[in-house]
Amino acid sequence: MTTLLHISDLHFGTEIPEVLATLKQQVQAMPVDAIILSGDLTQRARLHQFRNCRAFIDSLGNVPLLAIPGNHDISLWCPWERFFTPYRRYQKYFPTDFDRYGVISAQCGEACLVAVRSTRRYRHIHGELSSRQIDRVARLLKKAPSKALKLVVCHQPLHVTDQEDEADLVRGADKATPVWRAAGADGIVSGHIHQPFIVPIPPGQDVPSQRPMWAIQTGTTVSRRLRDNYPNAFNIISNQAQIFETAEIENPLGLNRPSWGAALWLYDFKSAQFLPYRQYWLK
Ligand SMILES: [Fe+2]
Ligand SMILES: [Fe+2]
């Protein structure tokens, strides 16, 4: 049985101490096997912000972490560093063994995670997926055991639900989506737009494979940089039935014997707790 916690856009430097404390308390009470952190760990890529973020992640216990940098994690204010060593600060506190394509994969219990670094030194906000990255991720997905839940982690989304957010899609999303779907991805795990949702990504007209693939998106988990009315949020992805026992689980794909589900948890300022909001059968 495997349970993954998905957090994102912590933006250390703008974190809300009460939300941080609640998150820690609630996560420590859950049987989390691995944490996915989908970028924007800091607000301005300052060393003390990375240090505080690291200390917080370590305080959650000895849980494996798969993290990728977001656009806020490369320096905006030091062009020299941005050009020559954009990930120096990130790597100091979150050493990550990316391959030459900026991709890393990990097997976490019964889930296979493939994370891709989509930030670019020459693009401040919008990320990009190169054709080599798209192919590399597809190769790793195909190699993963067929029974595993296969997730791709990318800071910027490949799918959005509001038309106004289309400008925030990672460059190359249109190419990567059909390729990764055909290669067996069950979901794309992202942050960046600070809007939580879990929805199936509709297949395009020209996609030969009609396999379901989900956009698993969370908001900022602990920062003040809330967008519109979306509260702080995280996701739980699990094949452990008791995690989802307490409320209804939606089944938009009409799966017969689903085993993996995902739950959107939102912070409720009244009760000062994260509460499960909507839950879905994924696979
Ligand atoms: Fe962000
Ligand atoms: Fe971002």
Question: How many domains in the chain?
Answer: 1
CA distances in angstroms from 31 to 18, 107, 224, 260, listed in the order given: 22, 17, 27, 15
Range of the domain at 199: 3-281
Question: Quick one: tokens of 193?
Answer: 């737009």
Q: Give the dihedral of Cα atoms 127, 183, 106, 158; nearest 10 deg.
A: 20
- The neighbourhood of ligand 1, an ion, using CB within 5 A, equals 9, 40
Q: Where are the alpha helices (DSSP H) in 94-194?
A: 131-143, 173-182
> How far, in Å, from the CA of 145 to the mean position of ligand 2?
31
When pLDDT is averaged across residues 111-134 and rounded to a whole number, the result is 91
Confidence tier at 243 by pLDDT (50, 70, 90): confident
2-6, 126-130, 155-159, 233-237: the lowest-pLDDT one = 126-130
When pLDDT is averaged across residues 73-85 and rounded to a whole number, the result is 84
When pLDDT is averaged across residues 216-233 and rounded to a whole number, the result is 96
Domain CATH number, residue 67: 3.60.21.10
When pLDDT is averaged across residues 70-83 and rounded to a whole number, the result is 86
Neighbour count for residue 263 (Cβ, 10 Å):
20
Closest residue by Cα to residue 152 from 166, 142, 137, 163: 137
- The neighbourhood of ligand 2, an ion, using CB within 5 A, equals 40, 70-71, 192
Give the tens place of pLDDT for each residue, 83-114: 888 899 999 999 999 999 999 999 999 999 99
Closest residue by Cα to residue 131 from 174, 190, 172: 172
Question: Quick one: tokens of 31?
Answer: 């049987």
What does the pLDDT read at residue 196? 98
> How far, in Å, from the CA of 45 to the mean position of ligand 1?
12
Closest residue by Cα to residue 192 from 163, 217, 161, 224: 217
Contacts for 112 with CB less than 8 Å, ≥ 6 apart:
105, 106, 140, 141, 144, 145, 148, 149, 150, 151
**pTM for the whole thing?**
0.96
Cα–Cα distance measured from residue 45 to residue 122, given in angstroms and rounded to the nearest whole number: 16
pLDDT averaged over every residue in the chain:
94
What does the pLDDT read at residue 205? 64
What does the pLDDT read at residue 139? 98
Give the tens place of pLDDT for each residue, 174-199: 999 999 999 999 999 999 999 999 99
What does the pLDDT read at residue 186? 97
> How far, in Å, from the CA of 161 to the mean position of ligand 2?
17
Amino acid code (one letter) for 214: W
Task: Give the ligand whose atoms come closest to the C-alpha of residue 194.
Answer: 1
CA distances in angstroms from 141 to 91, 113, 267, 273, listed in the order given: 25, 9, 33, 36
Closest residue by Cα to residue 175 from 122, 136, 135, 115: 135
Contacts for 244 with CB less than 8 Å, ≥ 6 apart:
238, 261, 263, 279
